Amino acid sequence: MTGLRSTKPVTGASLGYDWSELVQEDRVHRLIYADPQIFAAEMSNIFGGIWVYIAHESEIPNANDFVTRRLGQRPMIVLRDSAGKLRALFNRCTHRGTTLTRAEKGNAKSFSCPYHGWNFLNTGQLRGVPWADGYACDFRDSTYNVAQAPRVESYRGFIFVTLNEKMPPLRDWLGGITKPIDEWLDRNPGGKVKVCEANRFKFKGNWKLAYDNSSDGYHVIYSHRSLIETEARFQDGPKGMSYYKNSPDSLDMYVKYTGNGHHFKDKRPNLEKRPGGLWAIESVHPGMEHVEEKFRRLYGARADSLLDLAGSEPVNINIFPNLSLLGNHIQVFEPVSVNETNAVWYGTMIEDETGELGEAVQDINALRMRTQEQFPNFGEVDDLANFEQIQRGLDCLEDEWVYMHRGLGIAGRIKHHPDGSITGPATDEVFMREYIAQWRRLMECDPDLTVTREIAP
Ligand code: FES
Ligand SMILES: [Fe+2]
């Protein structure tokens, strides 16, 4: 076969780059954000080659429920089959390749292809084709079943998929980031959230620009100045983002890298440790005064802890490569092309299965929804504008480097812990250096991605 071009998807190893030249200790090359070939390789090495968040179990609670999503650029149907098993099917008919469903969500025991009507059970198995006697093949052969991800696992409701059979179990891959995820969930009675509809943003920039920003405490006071000033006009006392105003590095908040690209920024140590301490820093959004007055009237001393449940948890928990838990939201980054990304903010409600919160849960969840009208509407746009302008700046071909060396080389500033985690002040770029080093290690590989068409029970 020498001399013939491979039909395998491009991988990082096949590109021929010196990855240690592109990713150095203090800087990265503009190409990692701007080269379409690198983006194409990321769709194998990262979005497919490792565990990637794809949907939440609460979006498909019942048998036969499905949602359509993407794994990198692959259209996917994430579903619970008729037996209740989670599956991630390629949204692609095995006949001539059209998508099997164009709906965003639904409930279906089977999918009939809109083109020629081949019908597939939601296990992926081909059930029948119109006028099968026109074919000489045996349609019982698994060749004709829908391709699906060989591995689908969930952690506390968060569903991840990979096409790489060699990946360790999801729980091991998440490692130390499970602790803040657990804490984020367990602050709610019952320890569960239900994912709701989303605020959908797009920006003309590379997906990593959003992940670079996900624990960036350095930009807040500059990029979000107008939002901070608005808060100050409407409300008394310091709010969440005002921590960054004066000398943020002397406060107790910190950024922590936990391995495999995952990291989080934790502002909780800055809070007053008392019921109502979280509510006290909640930024202005519609409905707050009304519910606060009602809760104080109805629930007396219990009102503070109930209001805290509507408050935005001051953490940014980032699970590489595409998921952030922040405040009351889940943000998902969807790469569209080398310079185009969707940033989707899903609201979350508390699932009060034991009824512990009584009628208060309705107001708490309504307030949690209305936090969508705060940062996502007024802060996210600041960030997206920056990402788009970075992508423009990166078109200066001869100006090659992007720096991420804040905190590097200052004795005692970055701390390495026995569990392998690394911490630094909240304005440090240490998380960026660590995750991009992980990105480099992943891009050096030639992962063997597979799909399955065998219908395991
Ligand atoms: S493309 Fe699906 S039945 Fe023809
Ligand atoms: Fe920001």
pTM here is: 0.96
Strand order in the sheet with 158-162: 52-56, 158-162, 151-155
Cα 392 to Cα 229: distance, rounded to the nearest angstrom? 28
pLDDT at residue 251, rounded to an integer: 84
> Given ligand 1 and candidates 90, 96, 145, which is best to mutate, with the most ligand atoms within 8 Å of its CB?
96
Residue 228 vs residues 78, 217, 219, 242, 345: alpha-carbon distances, Å: 39, 14, 12, 7, 21
User: Does a cis peptide bond (omega within 30 degrees of 0) precede residue 189?
Assistant: no
Residue of 436, 438, 428 lying closest to 405 (CA atoms):
428
pLDDT at residue 2, rounded to an integer: 61
User: From the CA of 99, how far away is ligand 1's center (Å)?
Assistant: 9
pLDDT one-digit tens code per residue, 187-200: 999 999 999 999 99
Segment 53-82 shows an average pLDDT of 98
pLDDT at residue 313, rounded to an integer: 93
> Ligand 1, closest atom to CA 96?
1
Query: What DSSP letter does each residue of 264-285 carry, written as one string?
Result: EEE-GGGS-SSTTTTGGGPPP-
6 pLDDT band, cuts 50/70/90, is confident
Query: 251 or 268: whose pLDDT is higher?
Result: 268
pLDDT at residue 1, rounded to an integer: 47
108 pLDDT band, cuts 50/70/90, is very high
> Ligand 1, closest atom to CA 100?
2
User: From the CA of 114, how far away is ligand 1's center (Å)?
Assistant: 7
pLDDT at residue 355, rounded to an integer: 93
pLDDT at residue 393, rounded to an integer: 98
| 381 DSSP 8-state letter | H
Segment 226-230 shows an average pLDDT of 85
Look at residue 212 and tell me whether its pLDDT is greater than 60.
yes
**Is 52-155 CATH 2.60.120.460?**
no
- Give the ligand at the shortest distance from the Cα of 380: 2
Cα 382 from chain centroid (whole Å) = 19
- Give the ligand at the shortest distance from the Cα of 98: 1
In CATH terms, the fold of domain 176-442 is: Naphthalene 1,2-dioxygenase Alpha Subunit; Chain A, domain 1 (3.90.380)
- Give the ligand at the shortest distance from the Cα of 111: 1
Mean pLDDT of the chain: 95
Distance between start and end Cα atoms, the chain:
39
Look at residue 38 and tell me whether its pLDDT is greater than 70.
yes
Look at residue 415 and tell me whether its pLDDT is greater than 60.
yes
The ranges assigned to domains in the chain are 52-155, 176-442
User: From the CA of 10, how far away is ligand 1's center (Å)?
Assistant: 27
Look at residue 386 and tell me whether its pLDDT is greater than 80.
yes
Segment 308-326 shows an average pLDDT of 96
User: From the CA of 314, how far away is ligand 2's center (Å)?
Assistant: 13
Q: Report the nearest-CA residue for atom 4 of ligand 1.
A: 116
User: From the CA of 377, how far away is ligand 1's center (Å)?
Assistant: 41
pLDDT one-digit tens code per residue, 133-192: 999 999 999 999 999 999 999 999 999 999 999 999 999 999 999 999 999 999 999 999
Ligand 1 contacts (CB < 6 A) are 93, 95-96, 98, 113, 115-118
Q: Mapping DSSP to helix (H, G, I), strand (E, B) and coil, where does residue 111 land?
A: strand
> Ligand 1, closest atom to CA 118?
3
247 pLDDT band, cuts 50/70/90, is confident
Cα 398 to Cα 133: distance, rounded to the nearest angstrom? 63
pLDDT at residue 241, rounded to an integer: 73
Q: Report the nearest-CA residue for atom 3 of ligand 1.
A: 116
pLDDT at residue 268, rounded to an integer: 92
Segment 279-289 shows an average pLDDT of 88
b/e for 327-350, b at 16 or more Cβ within 10 A? Answer: bbbbbbbbbbebbbbbbbbbbbbb
User: From the CA of 250, how far away is ligand 2's center (Å)?
Assistant: 20
pLDDT at residue 209, rounded to an integer: 98
pLDDT at residue 21, rounded to an integer: 98
User: From the CA of 96, how far away is ligand 1's center (Å)?
Assistant: 5
